[in-house]
Structure 1
Amino acid sequence: MRIVIVDDEELARLRLQRLVSEIEGCELVGEAENGEQALASIDELEPDLIFLDVRMPGMDGMEVAAKLAEYQEPPAVVFCTAYDEYALEAFNTLAQGYIVKPVQKNQLEQVIAKSRRLTRPQTASSGNAEQAGRRHISAKTRKGVELIPIESVRCFVADQKYVTVIHGGGETLIDETLKELEQEFSPDFIRVHRNALVAINKIEGLQRENSGQQVLRLQESDYKPQVSRRHLSTVRTLLERL
């Protein structure tokens, strides 16, 4: 489990860091002391689980959880707070756990075990047998229903509630999730970022931008999807085999 800790109190972060380090199968990949930093860290580090304080200056934990609810594949959220009156409100968000400070190791182990069961999209990688033979993506447009051949798709890009298909004929919005598309079209498409799924046979190469970001060059497309640090080694291994 890749974990990010979000708390405005340094001592609370240090305590959680120590406890997380004692639990097998957990990796602390980042921390933040306010909501804005939290969202930036989540976008960059793509953690599986967030330990999130409720009361913080500026954007509080509830606001962060509301933002995460708009993601195609949000991380699991566990609230950690000294104020148990927030419990009901917390569970009206996407929270999968709620711990009252001071956090105890056995509480942490229980909530991590629960989150681990709930944050494994790979467990459904077999896809839907009924959709396995689909050769087109259908999209409702102003012209009616547009059929986009799968072989023309360069990549699928998620932006909060929408997915854009970048294909030989242009770009089209569809009403499907990136997770569903990944399950259905694996192994012909590879996840390169939390928000991007790329057709393997359309990849021309991997390049480093002046900004330091790694991006993919795609056949007959100006769009260059960013490769996150989490997926970079997998992409490099794939390219070495092609």
Structure 2
Amino acid sequence: MKLVIVDDEPLARDRLRRMVAEFPGYEVVAEAGNGDAAIRCVREQLADVILLDLHMPGLDGLQVARTLAELDVPPAVIFVTAHSEHALSAHNSHAAGYLLKPVRRDDLAAALARASRPSRAQVAALAGLDMADTPAYVSARTREGIERVAVGDILYFWADQKYTSVYHLSGELLIEQSLLALQQQLGSAFMRVHRKALVARRHIVGLRIDSRAGPLLSLRHCRCSIPVSRRRLAEVRALLEN
């Protein structure tokens, strides 16, 4: 995840940068000391998350957030401020998090975890989908009742006999829907790479050829590799090259 840190106080930026460095999977790609520079950095770096000070000279954090919200794929915004009276305005802006200075490590970790889960709008924008035609959740019957997982959190589906496993950011579920039915429901956000596998396009990060196992796909947030059938190989390569 690419992060931009925005604060008019250099010491505050330094502290946040050191804290972010403690969490794997996050990279601070730019820093800014004012709102105009923040907007420029996010656009240039295609940042996923912005840690944004609310109270700054010139454009304040709320104004920056409103401008960034107009991007095709806006970053997740985590507000950081020393002024607790701004909390209501920050929460009303649909931010991914609100942190009060001095920022606590656990609070930052929780906010980053929330920001790492893309909104439905972001998933739709990345996949070029019409949100109205795409379900927001996949539901499964469990011993506790009905559990549902957000489509944006799903890494891949794996079919095995009569059941399909749903592998997502928080674990695994079993459903009875076929891969074909899921592919029709979810559209181009997911790619069929094998007769048993349907993967989220946005999580595909690499392809390698194993001398024994054949083509294997690497997914973000996933330790295992997904087999790719020979007939699907050209399509996967084209996606990665583009």
Q: TM-score, normalised by structure 2?
A: 0.52
- Deviation sequence 1:151-191 (CA, Å, 0-9, x none): xxxxxxxxxxxxxxxxxxxxxxxxxxxxx9974999xxx99
Residue in structure 2 matched with residue 103 of structure 1 by the alignment: 103
Residue in structure 1 matched with residue 69 of structure 2 by the alignment: 69
Q: TM-score, normalised by structure 1?
A: 0.52
SS at match of 2:4: strand
Of the two structures, which has the highest relative contact order with CA contacts closer than 8 Å and spacing of 6 or more? 1
Alpha-carbon distance between aligned partners in 1 of 2:188 and 2:38, rounded to the nearest angstrom: 26
Residue in structure 1 matched with residue 86 of structure 2 by the alignment: 86
Letter in 2 for 1:46: L
Q: Spell out the pairing of 1:87-166 with structure 2 (5 A cutoff).
A: 87-118=87-118, 121=122
Residue in structure 2 matched with residue 39 of structure 1 by the alignment: 39
Contact 1:76 1:115 in 2 (8 A): yes
Alpha-carbon distance between aligned partners in 2 of 1:181 and 1:4, rounded to the nearest angstrom: 32
Unaligned runs of 5+ in 1: 133-179, 192-236
- Deviation sequence 1:46-95 (CA, Å, 0-9, x none): 11100000111111101101111222211000000000100100112131
Unaligned runs of 5+ in 2: 135-185, 193-200, 203-236
- Distance apart, 1:118 and its partner CA: 2.9
Alpha-carbon distance between aligned partners in 1 of 2:6 and 2:18, rounded to the nearest angstrom: 14
Alpha-carbon distance between aligned partners in 1 of 2:86 and 2:93, rounded to the nearest angstrom: 11
- Distance apart, 1:122 and its partner CA: 5.4
Change (3 A) 1:109 1:184: closer
Alpha-carbon distance between aligned partners in 2 of 1:20 and 1:66, rounded to the nearest angstrom: 24
Contact 1:7 1:33 in 2 (8 A): yes
Alpha-carbon distance between aligned partners in 1 of 2:31 and 2:25, rounded to the nearest angstrom: 18
Alpha-carbon distance between aligned partners in 2 of 1:108 and 1:97, rounded to the nearest angstrom: 9
Give me the CA root mean square deviation: 3.8
SS at match of 1:29: strand
Contact 1:126 1:184 in 2 (8 A): no
Alpha-carbon distance between aligned partners in 2 of 1:27 and 1:5, rounded to the nearest angstrom: 10
Q: Are positions 1:5 and 2:5 aligned together?
A: yes
Alpha-carbon distance between aligned partners in 2 of 1:126 and 1:59, rounded to the nearest angstrom: 31
SS at match of 1:71: coil
Alpha-carbon distance between aligned partners in 2 of 1:55 and 1:105, rounded to the nearest angstrom: 21
Residue in structure 2 matched with residue 56 of structure 1 by the alignment: 56
- The alignment of Structure 1 onto Structure 2 pairs a total of residues equal to 147
- Distance apart, 1:113 and its partner CA: 0.7
Residue in structure 2 matched with residue 158 of structure 1 by the alignment: none
- Distance apart, 1:131 and its partner CA: 6.7
- Distance apart, 1:107 and its partner CA: 0.7
Report % sequence identity.
42
Change (3 A) 1:126 1:62: closer
Contact 1:65 1:94 in 2 (8 A): no
Instruction: Give every structure 1 segment of 4 or more consecutive aligned residues whose post-TM-superposition deviation is greater than 3 Å.
Output: 119-128, 180-186, 237-242
- Deviation sequence 1:93-147 (CA, Å, 0-9, x none): 131110000111111110111111235855995968x979xxxxxxxxxxxxxxx
